[in-house]
Structure 1
Amino acid sequence: MKMFSPVDFQTFQLFSPSHIAVIVLFLIICIFFLLYLKKAKLTNNKRLSSILVTIFIVSELSYQIWALSVRIWESKYFLPLQLCSFSTFFGLYLHFKRSTVIFYFFFYIGFLPPILAILTPDLLYDFPHYFFGKFFIQHMAIPISAVYLLVAKDYNLPFKSVWISFLCLNLVAIPIGGVNYLLGSNYFFLSGPPVSDTALSLFGNGWFYILQLEILALFFFHLTFVFGKGILLFTKKN
């Protein structure tokens, strides 16, 4: 089937009709989700949690199966070491077990980064290719899950969570950088900006690129803190 072909539908363009349709759909889902949170005073919706967990598992497993089945799997591209995969795994864990530090890390890497990925995706395949659907569904589920866990599991979001998460990100980035060095890969986009046109394409290369990533991460973590507090206020959670 062409929708699973590794060579067909390689026509994705930024802000094409299919891309704009996904962005609009995501905005609609977010609006209804936030209104639901406010109205329902969500505590622990097992059905919603099961849907998000299913999306996470199917997204990661199907991606590996697809790459293997069409014989394009390479360790430098398909190891589950991208930021969205880390968000997915931590999100899965938090749906079953409570952990304040892991939640902080998940919330700060799982709220704005996937939204930015939806707006400027590192994507080759266009609709109706499998990877187009997988990419956007997974990246929609991650921030929705982050907000769900924040509200439903009654987590607090102190200012120190920004710095705890920033420290965790740097600790994780060290071994990821080592993997990139050994494999010639670009996990976490530490080796340089992606080939596709994304926000990172403006950052250049080398150590100045890494410095800009650090500054950008810290900026977005602070912005995420503001959004998180706003969500808690909107849903009347203290």
Structure 2
Amino acid sequence: MTGSRTSPIPLYIQIADAMRRRIAQGIWSGGALIPSLEQLAQEFQASRVTVRQAVQMLTGEGLLHPQRGKGTRVSGELPQPLPVSVVTSLDQLSASFRATTPELLQIEEGTQRPGLQEGDGNLAESYVYMKRLHVRDNAPYCIISLYLDTQIFHTAPQRFRQQTVIPLLLEQHRDRIHHARQILTLGESDSETSHLLHMPLHAPVAYIRRIFTDAAGVVVYFADVTYRGDALRLEMTLTP
């Protein structure tokens, strides 16, 4: 296999993606010794430095384990996230986060505002922006970029930093939520999403946009969520 040198995606990321796919498909099973850097460089028609970058990337994801003088082994089977159902009520949405462990990637206060569209509502005075990775059963399944009204955030800043936001928001400020909606669209993963969610580049993903507004039409919670395509399940009852 040869990576595309005309692609805007760096070659080492393309190689890491191909290697990640082999682990996901069981071609390289847990504990297996992968080919040497020289063999991989020859296969991918790339330099040792480029291949080493790909190995380091997957090592950082916990998929590979280099051992000095012994080669590099697959750390274990690639964990597959349990499906998350698309729900239609706030209580169901809150319940879906019960087994979730949030990992805070970034937080900024008062510097960013959500990009609202017509009909979304009005902006609050300021927001706390948080980017988070959600993990369940040791498998990352979604990335959330959310904006929470600063006044609400400061009622329990430590809890909002450490816990999933929606259950806490419903627990303490349910009376502030007058209207809630979400929009789902489909797409494919970019390099950052593939890295964070441990999935191949251009793999299917689902984007969900969530907006909660208060009685005055002010957006108190806004989130852009990216789910692994294989982690989301949509089930609907059809009327005969």
The TM-score with structure 1 as length reference comes to 0.22
Which structure's CA Rg is the greater one? Answer: 2
**More helix as a share of residues:** 1
Which structure dedicates a bigger proportion of its chain to strand? 2
Greater relative contact order structure (CA < 8 Å, 6+ sep): 1
- TM superposition score normalised by structure 2: 0.22
